[in-house]
Amino acid sequence: MTRRLGYAGAIGLGFAALVATATGCRPGTVASQADPLMQVFDKQAREEGLSRLETDGKRLFAHYCVTCHGETGEGDGQNAFNLDPKPPDFRVSLKLHQPAYWRQIIEAGSLAVGRSPLCPPWGRALASGDVDALVAYVGVLSRPASEKPASVEPASTTPASPAAPTVSATSARM
Amino acid sequence: MRTPQRAAVGFHLAFAVLGVVFLAIFSWVFLKEYLTEWRTTQAQFDQLQRRVKDPHALSLAAPLGDIRQVWLPDVDRVDRCTTCHLGIDDPAFATAMEPYTTHPGTWLQTHAPDRFGCTICHGGQGEATDFRNAAHRPIPNWSDPMRPPELMEANCGTCHRERRPSQTFWLERGREVIANAGCIACHDVPGFALDDLRAPRLESVGYKVRPDWLRKWLADPKGYLLQARMPNFRLEAAEIEGLTAFLLAQRETAPLDSAGIDWSKADPDRGRTVFGEARCVTCHTIEGRGGTMGPELTTVGSKVGRDWLFGFIKDPAHDQPGTLMLRYRFTDEQIRDVVAYLTEELVDVETPKTPPEVRYVDPKLVESGRQTFVRHGCYSCHRFTGMMALGKIGPSLVGIGDRAIEPTDFKIEAVVPTRSNWLFLKLREPDRLADESRMPTYGFSETDAAAAVVALLSIRRADLPASRVTDQPRLARYEPQGAFGALVARYRCLSCHQVRGWGGELSTVPFDRIGSQLQHSYLVSYLQLPSAVRVSLEERMPQFHMTREEAETLADYFADVFVDDSLGGDIQLDAEAARRGEQLFQTLGCRGCHIVGRTGGYVGPDLSDSGRRLKPGWIEAWLSEPGKWKPGTLQPNYGLKPEEARALTAYLMTLSTDRSGRKP
């Protein structure tokens, strides 16, 4: 009788071992650990409140456009004083048209849509993906300040659980 | 007692149980295979594509029901990601949800999936066919989980080894941080060479600096100057005393003799004028304004001795053979006045006017200072006679992107023990790591440290096949000889200008085709008295006080050697073309960026004198395709027809500021 129980026990144990192996051991990660490097990346993303495409666009904008259009697209770049007509304020002017129209100006120049020649065509210098990025970023500039994501989400995080917002923000961008 | 029947019953029972067990296992295996994650995913995709696609496109779609994979034998990878990411290269799924959505951007056009797979760029476990094991999130026992976009740039850098890979932000910045911080001095860093290193030689520093300044500097370089390149070695007071004694005892080469100078006649105001005219601020910052190529000078009068400074300005290479500083053709009186300006007006008010007497003659103290100098590896940056053979003080960084990290490497457990965090803390807060580090504190900003981590992670151990690597060939040093070479060395042209990819980056004008771009007569007069062509730039060509013969030697050499035969020399330009060119100049809005006469913008160069400055062949080639000559230029490509470019060239060649009325 005891022997029979022994067999059954051995078989049962073996089966349990099989199941355990097949399922695999899955230890959880420690929730309270901080991730200092990811915090730097997240801080950047949060402060800017921009998608990756918009971030690319921002860099291109800074290189090609800021001298006339200004940092915020309000038409107050350092070279704007000298232009006639002056560069428009994006917060107002972009509302009048669709992104396809913005795209046409970036690629073919403002003369191509029947306006002044002062915004030159960039279509031959920029890759199509670069123009996508610029159109995306210009869209951010067209929003009034109160709607821009940077001011919506303040940079402070709750010190009680530093890891939690990090993880969610990171995975949301992956 | 045991009978055969009883034993047989036992075996029957055992086999019966085993049979049931095996049946259970078999059915479980088949069920698991049938209900596997990727089959469910593909079934959902099938429904999706029936909605998205028309029947014709649907009939052409690849059949589902199999595991899909990309096999890359040369890098030993199998990526099965497309088993679930089924719409990745199909624009029809651009708005679909993960995992079916199309890959964003143009990345798959530049990196064809069948040649690059997925994990080379993204990380993760390519052979897995379920979400968890593919390491979309970190999992145990897989050291290379999928990376967020910022860290993915490290994977870009593993193949793209040029200093500035396009379309990266963190990687490019990180490589710049590594070059500027001089990591190469103490570590072997693949992709970086000792040419990147900039630090003064110290064999004669005893003549140069004041002891009170030196002590302050050694204790905390950033306390003296926020942008100081030297890191903080966390020295103890005794070490600082020893090092000060050792360094002040270094007097190998005496500075150039200034005994004949009558300092009582020195005029700081005249010196300030000379300093301003020579455009010293192009490289040196004073009170927040100026360039960063040379040392900051706001309180230089409290740092260096008067006689040393006189000798240094007279011939910088005498004391510092590799210096970027040029040798102006100043008179002794001009140098005297500049030195008076620098040492009397640019002082720290808290420092006593006369330097304290040098009292350190104790050879024991000097010897302890020498030991400190060697122990901290100071010779790594400050090349020092007799210490060259000591080797690099830090470990090699080959394969740092694969360094195994254990949780016990961290002193504080509240940090996720990843390789990237270890590197980040190593650069920012080494005291949070378990190992005591001799590495000095650089005080990197968060962003710079994070960027450097991205660049370091790109340095992997495994060697990639050459066909997968892009790199900028490391250029041989460009050292011209003869009279031209002597002038290039004297005026340190290559501190700012580039030739064949070699040299500094401050100037927007490389020499490579300068002889085909600029007119000889203009070069001769410009070199003698440089006038700003880009008026809005702070950085300007220095006023060398060059002689006419020297200017002609340089211009002749440019005209003979630095030419591009594809740029036509003589082009027929007529008045009719010039008239059409002037019209084009107005209609294209060129004035928005360029000054002509009194009006125009500040983005591009002033064109008022282009008829006497530029060569027509160059203007035409430049206007036709600016990006070919200077990638990323702000000069737009208008797609001009050949006759339009010719007309604009003709017009520009009529422009001149020559008031004598002579046509160029």
pLDDT in tens, B53-96: 888 888 888 888 899 999 999 999 999 999 999 999 988 898 88
Split into its structural domains, chain A has a count of 1
pLDDT single digits (tens) A123-168: 998 888 889 999 999 999 888 665 555 433 333 333 333 333 333 3
For B80, phi and psi rounded to 5 degrees? Answer: -105, 15
Query: What pLDDT score does A174 carry?
Result: 32
**Residue that is written with structure tokens 């509302």 in the block:** A95
Give pLDDT tens digits for B142-159: 888 999 888 999 999 999
Average pLDDT over residues A88-112: 90
Token output for B370: 């020498």
What pLDDT score was predicted for residue A51? 80
Q: Which of A97-101, B31-35, B429-433 has the lowest mean pLDDT?
A: B429-433
Examine residue A102 and state whether it is found in any structural domain, yes or no: yes
pLDDT value of position B213: 92
Distance of alpha carbon A142 from alpha carbon B534, whole angstroms: 32
Compute the average pLDDT of residues B299-318. 92
Structure tokens at B651: 């017009």
Predicted pLDDT of residue A13:
59
Q: Are strands B498-499 and B502-503 parallel, antiparallel or unpaired?
A: antiparallel
pLDDT of amino acid A161? 34
Task: Note down the domain range covering A106.
Answer: 49-147
pLDDT digits (tens, 9 = 90+) for B499-538: 988 888 888 899 999 999 999 999 999 999 998 888 778 8
The three-point CA angle B11-B16-B22 to 5° equals: 120
Mutation site for B-interface testing, chosen from A11, A37, A124 by largest number of B Cβ within 10 Å: A37
- Look at residue B300 in the predicted model and tell me its pLDDT: 92
| pLDDT of B42 | 93
Q: Is residue A63 part of a domain?
A: yes
Residue A120 lies in a domain: yes
CB B454 within 8 Å of CB B154: yes
Crossing angle, helix B482-490 and helix B548-561, to 10 degrees? 120
CB B154 within 8 A of CB B401: yes
Helix (H, G, I), strand (E, B) or coil at B323: coil
User: Residue B24, Cβ neighbours under 10 Å: how many?
Assistant: 12
Interchain proximity B446–A43, CB inside 8 Å: yes
Residue B420, chain A, CB below 8 Å: the answer is: yes
Residue B36 pLDDT exceeds 80: yes
Residue B242 confidence (pLDDT): 93
Asked if residue B651 lies in contact with residue B581, where contact means CB atoms within 8 angstroms, the answer is yes
pLDDT confidence of residue B143: 83
CB of B465 within 8 A of CB of B406?
A: no
- The Cα–Cα gap between A129 and B93 comes to 18
CB within 8 Å of B538: residues ≥ 6 apart: B281, B282, B289, B290, B291
Tokens of B460: 């992997």
Confidence (pLDDT) at A3:
56
- How many Cβ contacts (< 8 angstroms) between chains A and B? 127
Rounded to 10°, the helix B642-652/B616-624 angle is: 140
HSE, side-chain direction, 13 A CA sphere, residue B535: 13
The fraction of chain B above a pLDDT of 70, given in percent, is 96
Q: Report how far residue B487's alpha carbon sits from residue B489's, in angstroms, rounded to the nearest whole number.
A: 5
Distances (CA, A) of B341 to B273, B299, B328, B353: 9, 11, 17, 14
B627 touches chain A (CB under 8 A): yes
| CB atoms closer than 10 angstroms to residue B392 | 13
Confidence of residue B230 (pLDDT cuts 50, 70, 90): very high
> How many residues in chain A?
174
**CB-closest option in A18, A64, A82 to B600:** A82
Alpha helices in chain A (DSSP H): 2-23, 36-48, 52-64, 66-69, 90-93, 99-108, 128-142, 149-152, 163-173
Decide if A83 is inside a domain.
Answer: yes
Distance from the Cα of residue B463 to its chain's centroid: 23
Q: How sure is the predictor about A24, in pLDDT bands with cuts at 50, 70 and 90?
A: very low
pLDDT on residue B459: 94
pLDDT of residue B632: 87
Say if A139 falls within a structural domain. yes
pLDDT band at B123 (very low <50, low <70, confident <90, very high): very high
Relative to beta strand B595-596, strand B599-600 is: antiparallel
Q: Is residue A60 part of a domain?
A: yes
- Among B47-51, B346-350, B484-488, where is mean pLDDT lowest? B346-350
Contact criterion met (CB below 8 Å) for B617 and B587 = no
pLDDT of residue A154: 38
User: Hey, is the C-beta of B91 within 8 angstroms of any chain A C-beta?
Assistant: no
Coil, strand, or helix at residue B72? Answer: strand
Q: What is the ipTM of this complex?
A: 0.75
- pLDDT at B186 (0 to 100): 92
Phi-psi region of B183 (alpha: psi -120 to 50; beta: other; left: phi over 0): alpha
CA distance A164 to chain B (A): 13
Residue of B nearest to A123 (CA): B637
Q: Which residue of B has its CA nearest to A130?
A: B105
Asked if pLDDT for residue A14 goes beyond 70, the answer is no
Confidence of residue A27 (pLDDT cuts 50, 70, 90): very low
How confident is the model at residue A145, as a pLDDT? Answer: 62
Distance of CA B653 to the CA centre of its chain: 38
* Inter-chain CB proximity B420 and A37 less than 8 Å: yes
Is residue B602 within 8 angstroms of chain A, CB to CB?
yes
Q: How far is B322 from chain A (nearest CA, A)?
A: 34
CATH of the domain at A128: 1.10.760.10
- Using a CB-CB cut-off of 8 Å, the residues of chain B touching A82 are 592, 599-602
In contact, A150 and A58? CB cutoff 8 Å: no
- Joined together, the tokens standing for residue B564 give 């591009």
Number of separate helices (H) and strands (E) present in chain B:
27, 6
Interface contact B136, partner A, CB < 8 A: yes
Residue A111, helix vs strand vs coil: helix
CA distance B659 to B529: 18
Parallel, antiparallel, or unpaired for β B77-79 and B595-596?
unpaired
Cα gap A1→B2, rounded to integer Å: 11
The residues, ordered by sequence, that sit 6+ positions from B44 with a Cβ below 8 Å of its Cβ are none
Q: Is the pLDDT of residue B660 over 60?
A: no
Q: How far is B636 from chain A (nearest CA, A)?
A: 6
Asked, for residue A118, whether it belongs to a domain, the answer is yes
pLDDT band at B15 (very low <50, low <70, confident <90, very high): very high
Q: Mean pLDDT score of chain B, rounded to an integer?
A: 89
Residue B106 has pLDDT above 90, yes or no: no
In the structure encoding, which two tokens stand for residue B569, read together? 């020399």
pLDDT of residue A158: 34
Is residue B410's pLDDT more than 80? yes
Instruction: List the single residue in B25, B149, B633 with the smallest CB-CB distance to A173.
Output: B149
What pLDDT, on the 0 to 100 scale, is given for residue B631?
A: 85
Please give the pLDDT value at position B497: 94
The conformational region for residue B98 under phi > 0 = left, psi -120 to 50 = alpha, else beta, is: beta
Is B523 in contact with B550 (CB distance < 8 Å)? no
Q: Is the pLDDT of residue B663 over 80?
A: no
Mean per-residue pLDDT, B262-283: 93
Closest residue of B to A82, CA-based? B601
Let me know if residue A38 belongs to a domain: no
